[in-house]
Chain A
């Protein structure tokens, strides 16, 4: 339920963030994530952690690779991705993830394929919004002009908590 989901995310963050830089990328997280069959596999990029929780039917190296694909895809879709992109475009991140993982199973691992689908969807969305959306886009473009100022306010410590990028739990 909602509460356990939150607790899992909190606990996972707690576990993962306190690990050293040079230890292995696997964590066998006891009871909270559903017993010994499951484990956490994570990768650490600058201030971001990408954590997957998988069961024994997934290959450990395969998942590490998948995280890499995910990050590279994000990079392609956002052009030099940074954590702010993830914060401001939660919906897009979700969309990308949904193209890779569906219902707890890996859907697509080919990056080009994913990027093509995402681009096609974005195009479609734009054409749907069409004229009606134009004024709003213009306004938001103006608003975004001062985006570079934003990083000053960032408290890096809690970024990784607030990014709800962990919907992939089965």
Chain B
């Protein structure tokens, strides 16, 4: 063996190692490929050898080569080596990804490494895992990683904490069980672990901040105490996400933040930071400039006004040579526009568009222009003619990818702003005439997309078109067939609309010849579309060709057809909101999931079905026809509105209708002139320049202002008119700017009584959505992480224990739970099969450990029995100290457990569990009163026949339940334990022990603390309100047992007395008359308990009725004890 090893290492001397490989590759510049393939052959040889070191070296090289060549050859080999070297995991992280099948095989290897005694092996495994964790791995390993989170070495702890985030992402179910421990890690003594925990929680909270609001106080403490910059930055980021949800936080944060002044990203710092940034932007280096802009954009969201004053500065940044800065500045502009400066800003942007090199930046500019203009329903646009001309100018951009966007804008504006249609149509006609300029760029999403919009607008609103013939001819040009299919299809469809309009015009004018001519033109030219390769075009063209041939036939018979043809396209198309379909409410009584017909069974004869379907469908159609829009009603409203406007002195009637005004203005006279000057191909002559509008607009505003001033002088006392149409956010100065035309921006249609919901804004595929869970809810059993356990181990363990009460638990879990558990068992079986071999080893190992621990415990048993101070005395005291007032009483009563001044003090509270008729939950608050650190706490109770502690499945009655936290000195925390009960008619006492490790400077020792849990009968009662009539019925029913007590020497007020009964015994008052009251409560097993309390001079008598006489007498005894202490 030794010989073999030596031989192996001598062989290795002559193998290449990684360095040699790299050197070799670099020396073979010319025939690199050949050299590498030679190396790969060598590596293959090496991999076949037995020596693990040789293999490791080989994989090391292979990884490098594959990283170089991008060839995924390594995967199968890596498996061998995962554990043997650090490099194994590096290689794995390089070549594994979610689709790699072999990952499934690695689970056990990884688990073995995770529990390795060497911290670096564990660390490497965690690092590797972070790169290739899959849902399966996450599920199987979640519990192992959870345990690692409380590893003794901080190095492992921090890695384990960090990787939990990856696990949460892949396996969201693990979030809730793991969260308490994660929270605990926020207060870890090691700064690295702390920062990792902060990191993870910030990352989680970024997606679903509202679930983490409860952590705010904790983070606040961290922020004021931490010195680690990294942690501080993270916490501030987190608060940035939380403040919008909890306004009070903002106020609290101001002070520490001004102390810190770290990141300006938090809104509260606004004033401070703005004044700084203003100056910063001028002088400092570009990096700072960038950050300044970034901060501004964040401030802008909350305080737009303060940023707007820096407009010029930001516009300057657009000239910066650094693209990142330009983009940031652009982002800012979006939020800065107002009615007043929109035109100016866009003009500047247009200049930049012309100057810009590089299509990406130009495209970015283009989208920004459109974004800026169209934001919040065109809120800032006062002149839509200007906007259309801007859009038309944008079509001259070469090589843009946003033709589609421009087209969409054109369509949107033309459809929704009625007043602009005539102008839009004339512009679009011009675009169509000059289509050859645009059409040269036929790439997808190129600028030719605007022709789509142009054709549609011209066709749909052909009544506004003046040169119908000319446009039609432009659309019929042979060049059109080179356009993309979907545009041609729109062309074909809209040709007919134009044709119909022309036909009508001609017929009305009585020019039959001309009408026939135009028909002939269509018939001549349409065949070129019929031959199109695009199906849609072909279909439409051939259909329309036939139609027109038919029309021609009619025309020759001199039948007037225009009316009928135009009827094809009658009616207006209304814009419908994209979400409208989703928002249609489901009518009552309509079940969308119900079968319309019974699902076809195999035996059914086939021929029957189609009939029924058809029949049914017809019926449905008739039911759900949408209500027609009442034209009359609309007209009436329009009239009313006009009247109203006429009566309003501030409504600007002087501004003429867009069409008229348009002809009056001198600058645009040349619009209809279409002379194509090919020497300047980029400028389309005859198109109005948007600049003209800027000038016009200025003049107009100036005029308006003058007018207004005049009016103001005249009617100073009159109130301000309301001439704004759809804005409410504007500043005073903006109010003065009236839109140039009376525009009617039609809102997109929504179905009647649409359901208002924001739900649809959420992306259902968002991976973070799964992590949106309520973290404050207590854990249910079913949510516990699957723990890998081996059945054999359990079976072996139980006979060892000499338990007096080795009984099967009498708990009867509800059906659901059972099912779930069965499922889990099945899963476990499956997994067990898979992992059988490996698992045996590790379980043995674990068992040994366990035994050792036990031994240690018994040695260290120090009998530090402390007096049991449990009793109502203590409680009463604590209650009087603060909680018991005449005002509302706290819901929980606390009894004392353990001794004061000892290691630990605990208080507990027993509450019935509403969901289970045989369970109570005991919440225990542990408080560490010593100066040492307490950890590994385990609580164990000696079960009685009747009452048992609910332990995790598979543990024996002698195992304690670990308390899921550690206690630094002076800290208290709460844990919950569930007990199952059979009978609740008697009070119970349970003995228990709490074992824990005390860690201080001298070392750590095991300690034990004995205690008694007292389950009084009252703790089985659940305060349930009851109405007096129900109460009376209950008393009359007669199946209740009766008992009574009398207590003398009572001095406290009746009010106080009732409060005490309610508080300690969980009763509620049903009715109270003077010094007499009836009370009610219910046990967790459904017993009714009714009381009649009467107060005499110095005594109180209580009569009780209950289904169970034992329970009642026990209850009354307890009550007597309470009352006698008053």
Could you say which of B5, B14, B90, B290 contacts A94, with CB atoms under 8 Å apart?
Answer: B90
User: A108–B158 contact, CB under 8 A?
Assistant: yes
User: A30–B360 contact, CB under 8 A?
Assistant: yes
Interface SS majority for chain A: helix
Could you say which of B86, B230, B289 contacts A109, with CB atoms under 8 Å apart?
Answer: B230
Shortest CB distance A24–B (Å): 4
User: A110–B192 contact, CB under 8 A?
Assistant: yes
Q: What mask results when residues 46 to 68 of chain A are scored 1 for a CB within 8 Å of chain B, else 0?
A: 00000000000101111011000
Residues in chain A near residue B324, CB distance under 8 A: 23-24, 26-28
Q: How far is the CA of A51 from the CA of B328 in the complex (A)?
A: 20
User: A105–B19 contact, CB under 8 A?
Assistant: no
User: A136–B163 contact, CB under 8 A?
Assistant: no
Q: A23-B321, A107-B162 are in contact. Are A57 and B203 (CB under 8 A)?
A: yes
Q: How far is the CA of A25 from the CA of B1094 in the complex (A)?
A: 82
User: A106–B230 contact, CB under 8 A?
Assistant: yes
Q: How far is the CA of A20 from the CA of B15 in the complex (A)?
A: 45
User: B130–A26 contact, CB under 8 A?
Assistant: no
Shortest CB distance B275–A (Å): 20
Say which one of B21-29, B796-804, B956-964 lies at the interface with A.
Answer: B21-29
Shortest CB distance B937–A (Å): 30
Which of B19, B163, B228 has the largest count of A CB atoms less than 10 A from its CB? B19
Residues in chain B near residue A124, CB distance under 8 A: 118, 120
Shortest CB distance A50–B (Å): 15
Q: How far is the CA of A64 from the CA of B287 in the complex (A)?
A: 11
User: A2–B20 contact, CB under 8 A?
Assistant: no
Q: Kindly state whether residue A83 has any CB partner on chain B within 8 Å.
A: no
> What residue in chain A is nearest B191 (Cβ atoms)?
A110
Could you say which of A25, A27, A95, A117 contacts B155, with CB atoms under 8 Å apart?
Answer: A117
User: B9–A103 contact, CB under 8 A?
Assistant: no
Q: How far is the CA of A150 from the CA of B26 in the complex (A)?
A: 9
> What residue in chain A is nearest B288 (Cβ atoms)?
A24
Residues in chain A near residue B166, CB distance under 8 A: 103
Q: How far is the CA of A170 from the CA of B15 in the complex (A)?
A: 36
Residues in chain A near residue B131, CB distance under 8 A: 103, 167
Q: Kindly state whether residue A125 has any CB partner on chain B within 8 Å.
A: yes
Q: Kindly state whether residue B68 has any CB partner on chain A within 8 Å.
A: yes
Q: What mask results when residues 58 to 96 of chain B are scored 1 for a CB within 8 Å of chain A, else 0?
A: 001000100110101000000000000011001001100
Q: How far is the CA of A120 from the CA of B120 in the complex (A)?
A: 9
User: B127–A102 contact, CB under 8 A?
Assistant: yes
Residues in chain B near residue A144, CB distance under 8 A: 19
Q: Kindly state whether residue A98 has any CB partner on chain B within 8 Å.
A: yes
Q: Kindly state whether residue A11 has any CB partner on chain B within 8 Å.
A: no
> What residue in chain A is nearest B262 (Cβ atoms)?
A59
Give how many A residues have a beta carbon under 8 Å from the other chain's beta carbons: 62
Residues from 86 to 107 in A contacting B, C-beta threshold 8 Å: 87-91, 94-95, 98, 102-107
Q: A59-B233, A107-B158, A153-B27 are in contact. Are A102 and B120 (CB under 8 A)?
A: no
Interface size class of chain B, counting residues whose CB lies under 8 Å from the partner chain: 35 or more
Q: What mask results when residues 809 to 851 of chain B are scored 1 for a CB within 8 Å of chain A, else 0?
A: 0000000000000000000000000000000000000000000
Q: Kindly state whether residue B908 has any CB partner on chain A within 8 Å.
A: no
Say which one of B194-202, B369-377, B546-554, B612-620 lies at the interface with A.
Answer: B194-202
Q: Kindly state whether residue A80 has any CB partner on chain B within 8 Å.
A: no
Residues in chain A near residue B26, CB distance under 8 A: 87, 150, 153-154
Residues in chain A near residue B492, CB distance under 8 A: none
Q: Kindly state whether residue B327 has any CB partner on chain A within 8 Å.
A: yes
Q: How far is the CA of A6 from the CA of B69 in the complex (A)?
A: 10
Q: Kindly state whether residue A35 has any CB partner on chain B within 8 Å.
A: no
Q: Kindly state whether residue B159 has any CB partner on chain A within 8 Å.
A: yes
Q: A24-B290, A27-B324, A103-B131 are in contact. Are A2 and B72 (CB under 8 A)?
A: yes
Could you say which of B8, B87, B290 contacts A26, with CB atoms under 8 Å apart?
Answer: B290
Shortest CB distance A42–B (Å): 11
Q: How far is the CA of A1 from the CA of B290 in the complex (A)?
A: 32
Q: How far is the CA of A24 from the CA of B290 in the complex (A)?
A: 7
Residues in chain A near residue B17, CB distance under 8 A: 136, 140
Residues in chain B near residue A139, CB distance under 8 A: 13-14
Shortest CB distance A139–B (Å): 5
Shortest CB distance B129–A (Å): 8
Q: What mask results when residues 132 to 165 of chain A are scored 1 for a CB within 8 Å of chain B, else 0?
A: 1111101110011000001001110000001010
Q: Kindly state whether residue A121 has any CB partner on chain B within 8 Å.
A: yes
Shortest CB distance B574–A (Å): 34
Q: Kindly state whether residue A129 has any CB partner on chain B within 8 Å.
A: yes
Residues in chain A near residue B18, CB distance under 8 A: 88, 90-91
Shortest CB distance A161–B (Å): 10
Q: A24-B287, A117-B155 are in contact. Are A95 and B86 (CB under 8 A)?
A: yes
Q: Kindly state whether residue B724 has any CB partner on chain A within 8 Å.
A: no
Which of B26, B53, B93, B196 has the largest count of A CB atoms less than 10 A from its CB? B26
Shortest CB distance A36–B (Å): 9
User: A59–B237 contact, CB under 8 A?
Assistant: yes
Q: Kindly state whether residue B47 has any CB partner on chain A within 8 Å.
A: no
Q: A62-B233, A113-B192 are in contact. Are A143 and B290 (CB under 8 A)?
A: no
Could you say which of B8, B27, B162, B285 contacts A102, with CB atoms under 8 Å apart?
Answer: B162
User: A135–B10 contact, CB under 8 A?
Assistant: yes
Q: A24-B289, A103-B130 are in contact. Are A143 and B237 (CB under 8 A)?
A: no
User: B196–A107 contact, CB under 8 A?
Assistant: yes
Q: A102-B126, A105-B203 are in contact. Are A132 and B321 (CB under 8 A)?
A: no
> What residue in chain B is nearest A61 (Cβ atoms)?
B291
> What residue in chain B is nearest A164 (Cβ atoms)?
B67
Q: How far is the CA of A103 from the CA of B165 in the complex (A)?
A: 9
Q: Kindly state whether residue B229 has any CB partner on chain A within 8 Å.
A: yes
Residues from 3 to 59 in B contacting A, C-beta threshold 8 Å: 5, 8-10, 12-15, 17-20, 22-23, 26-27, 29, 53
Q: Kindly state whether residue B877 has any CB partner on chain A within 8 Å.
A: no
Q: A27-B324, A117-B155 are in contact. Are A105 and B86 (CB under 8 A)?
A: no
Q: Kindly state whether residue B311 has any CB partner on chain A within 8 Å.
A: no
Residues in chain B near residue A94, CB distance under 8 A: 90
Q: How far is the CA of A108 from the CA of B192 in the complex (A)?
A: 6
Q: Kindly state whether residue B322 has any CB partner on chain A within 8 Å.
A: yes
> What residue in chain B is nearest A5 (Cβ atoms)?
B70
Q: A6-B70, A61-B291, A107-B158 are in contact. Are A28 and B327 (CB under 8 A)?
A: yes
User: B199–A105 contact, CB under 8 A?
Assistant: yes
Residues in chain A near residue B114, CB distance under 8 A: none
Q: A139-B13, A140-B17, A143-B20 are in contact. Are A103 and B87 (CB under 8 A)?
A: no
Which residues on B are within 8 Å of A, measured CB to CB? 5, 8-10, 12-15, 17-20, 22-23, 26-27, 29, 53, 60, 64, 67-68, 70, 72, 86-87, 90, 93-94, 97, 118, 120, 124, 126-127, 130-131, 133, 155, 158-159, 162-163, 165-166, 191-192, 195-196, 199-200, 202-203, 206, 228-230, 233, 237, 263, 285-287, 289-291, 294, 321-325, 327-328, 360
List 7 interface pairs A-B (beta carbons < 8 Å), by A numbering.
A24-B287, A62-B230, A88-B22, A90-B67, A109-B230, A143-B19, A153-B29
| 7 nearest A-B residue pairs (beta carbon) | A103-B130, A23-B322, A24-B286, A24-B290, A24-B287, A59-B233, A98-B127
